[in-house]
Amino acid sequence: MPARLKRFPVIVTMLLGIYFLMTAGRLAPRSAPPAPTGHTFPRLPTTLLGAYLRPSGFWLLQKTGSGGGEQGNCGDKKKLNDELKEELDPGHKNHKISIGPMVTQGDPTAGTYTPVEGGIWDAILQRAGIKPCETDPKDGKGKDGFLEYVDDSNVLNSGGTRSTFGYFISNGAEGALAADYFLLFSYDRIKDKKTGKILCAFEVFKFGPFPHNRKPGEVHPEADPPEWVFGYAVNGDGCLLPEVPIEVARVSNFANAPDSETVKPGVDDEKKGCRKCHDREKGPGSTFPFPWVKKGKEEKKEEEKKEEKKTESETPGGNKPGTTPKETVPEQPEERPKRIGKAEIPGKKPEGENAGLPSGPTEDTLVGLIVPADTRPEDTITGTVVTNPEEYRNNPALRVIETKLPLIKTAAGATLRGVEALIRGREPQAADGQIVFHTGHEGSLPVTFTREGSTTTLGQSSVPVSSGNPPTGWPGTRGVYKASSIYQRGGTAEISGPFDGNASNTHVQIAGQDANIVAGSPRARYVKVPSNCATGGTDLVVQDGLRSVRFPVSVVSLQISADKLQLRRGETTRYRIVVSGLESLPDSAWHASPSYSAISEIRQAVPGFHLPREDEEGTIVLLLRNLSPQVITMEHAGSGVAAITIHKSDVHGGKFSLDGAIQSKVAGGFTAEAKLVSLLAPAVGTRGSGAMFIGALTGPVRRNPSETRKRSR
């Protein structure tokens, strides 16, 4: 062998050694504070009918030389991709997550969805055309998801530039196969004046949840804006950090603070962490100044007032020269009672009392007046009107009185704003709030819907009033409050007790979150369980006037997914169901003592189902419904409904799992639905002192300040 060839391996080894010596300083992991602890994300509920997300926020930091990006690794720290995967991806085989860009700033309508292969965050950056530190933020204009470019950010240090992007994330989830979450992020870039190196960062906020019946690209009024509840600092490689490096941003750039104060994670406390610079309440309720909405409703109102004053000052009559005088709104007839205020209820978008009423074309929309099924003579009853009555049809504890109304169609869909309900003996009440009425002696009570300020009838219905004695076991043993041991996220729950019928006097919290009351009688309240509650053991707090009851309960989630959602004729696929959050159920709960409404629901769904006796073990029943019987058959459910019993011995690690086959009859898509019904013993409430009781008197419950403000907007 020639001598120069013999020396070749030696030369290569020397060159590699020199290269590693030269780059060791750059490639060695930089020292960083330990990753924050105590911040864990709740698992997301997912089923074949929809999904919900809790919002989160992240800072991502990356540092490079003047020409490009350097990648590192997280070591023992967690990556953002992994964090998002845990929250958004149920991890089933062949399950796909898709992303869709926000097309117009402030409009909760997604563009084209594309499937995610690999990490969610990586897929978003690739679609947005961002190479960290290499891409100039101003080049983001015209890219998918681009919303705004700022060449002089108030948050970054001097010289920093920022582009803001928005992406929806679609995931198979609770109840259906489509659900949107929203990631709003800024791409920030700055040159370090001391070192000359390019620094770049991403500030990422995750919003949610969206309504369970949302489909990709479908607009919902509740989505403007969704809630934001967490904030984190993460470096450019996706590693969690306890603070944003001060070379990138300082709190003093935006708020009154010492120059040495760094931007820190956390959003639970006002004026701390992310909320030093971002506010929940402006915008409204969004991370102002981030542009989920172009301008807050409060700002718009102020501008409208200024414009109105300016217009009125131009001419004595308040009209511009050469224009038609303003239309005068006719006074209401004296005999027409004054409209009472509205309360916030599920599926309704609260608006300021001074906000203008909607206008535009109308469309016939099916609505449902939700009232308790146990509505008796001489009762005070609370009901609500909803535009998704199908969600409540299978609940035997509730009566859904459906009618069609010509509702004004807005960008967010048909709205009940400006519609009133008139019930004999009561003042007109806003149809997008709680409706309270007295039943009297009649067998039914007529309800008339009108437009606010008009006597024209939009539609009519009537509330049936029960007669005779109620069935044994119906809610409302006098002086006793009862609550279920388990509550399914996003479901409707019954709380029985000696109420007064007017639900505006009652406040319910589950896991520290307000639970909206959809119906009420003197014997029970029916509440919507927040869809983003953390699963596991928690407290249910009921305050009825001065009486307060606290129950230890378990919040459970139901995940259901399928490998394929579109099948050819004769094709087979698999579905999976996972129930989680059962680990905190005490042994005392596994005794049979079901409520009357639970028994009725199971008997209605599956006649002949064996119900446990009081001396037998309590169970949980999983109701599985095939909603596309003409398209598929399902193992366990066939072409109809199955009641699957969950015993204590079936629960492992707080979870119950079930899978089965789906066989197509014809080509096409399909849907299915799953729900939990408790046949367990009820939860037992406690005083503040810890004494066992049911229906005791305690002091008032302190409301979450942010939730109280949210309701009052």
Task: Specify the CATH number for 362-464; select among 2.60.40, 2.30.30, 3.90.660, 3.40.390.
Answer: 2.60.40
Q: What pLDDT band is residue 256 in, cutting at 50, 70 and 90?
A: low
pLDDT digits (tens, 9 = 90+) for 175-230: 333 446 788 888 888 888 888 888 888 888 877 655 544 444 444 444 445 666 56
CA separation for the pair 498, 377 (Å, rounded):
17
> Per-domain residue ranges for the chain?
46-276, 362-464, 482-489+533-679
- For residue 196, give the amino acid letter: G
Question: For position 229, what pLDDT does the model report?
Answer: 55
Q: Among 153-162, 176-185, 244-253, 440-449, whose mean pLDDT is lowest?
A: 176-185
Share of the chain above pLDDT 90, in %: 22
Question: For position 692, what pLDDT does the model report?
Answer: 30
Share of the chain above pLDDT 70, in %: 62
Q: Is 0.85 topped by the overall pTM?
A: no
CA separation for the pair 102, 219 (Å, rounded):
12
pLDDT surpasses 70 at 685: yes
pLDDT digits (tens, 9 = 90+) for 585-601: 999 899 888 887 888 88
Which DSSP category does 653 fall into?
T
Q: Among 7-21, 230-244, 557-571, 656-670, whose mean pLDDT is lowest?
A: 7-21
Which range scores top for mean pLDDT: 141-155, 297-311, 403-417, 574-588? 574-588
608 contact partners, CB below 8 Å, separation of at least 6: none
Question: For position 543, what pLDDT does the model report?
Answer: 87
Q: If residue 414 lies in a helix (H) or strand (E), which one and from where to where?
A: strand 413-415
Please give the mean pLDDT across all residues of the chain: 72
pLDDT surpasses 50 at 278: yes
Q: Among 60-74, 84-98, 136-150, 441-455, whose mean pLDDT is lowest?
A: 60-74
Q: Among 31-40, 370-379, 477-486, 495-504, whose mean pLDDT is lowest?
A: 31-40
Q: What pLDDT band is residue 376 in, cutting at 50, 70 and 90?
A: confident
* Cβ atoms 148, 294 nearer than 8 A: no
Q: Average pLDDT of 76-87?
A: 74
Question: For position 401, what pLDDT does the model report?
Answer: 92
Q: Which residues of 556-592 are buried (b: 16+ CB within 10 A; e: fewer)?
A: bbbbbbbebbebeeeeebbbbbbbbbbebbeeebbbb
Which range scores top for mean pLDDT: 29-33, 260-264, 293-297? 260-264
pLDDT digits (tens, 9 = 90+) for 60-79: 444 443 333 333 567 777 77
Question: For position 88, what pLDDT does the model report?
Answer: 67
Question: For position 690, what pLDDT does the model report?
Answer: 32
Pair of tokens at residue 352: 């300021």
Which DSSP category does 513 fall into?
E
CA distances from 513 to 12, 313, 534 (A): 64, 47, 10
603 contact partners, CB below 8 Å, separation of at least 6: 609, 611
Q: If residue 84 lies in a helix (H) or strand (E), which one and from where to where?
A: helix 80-88
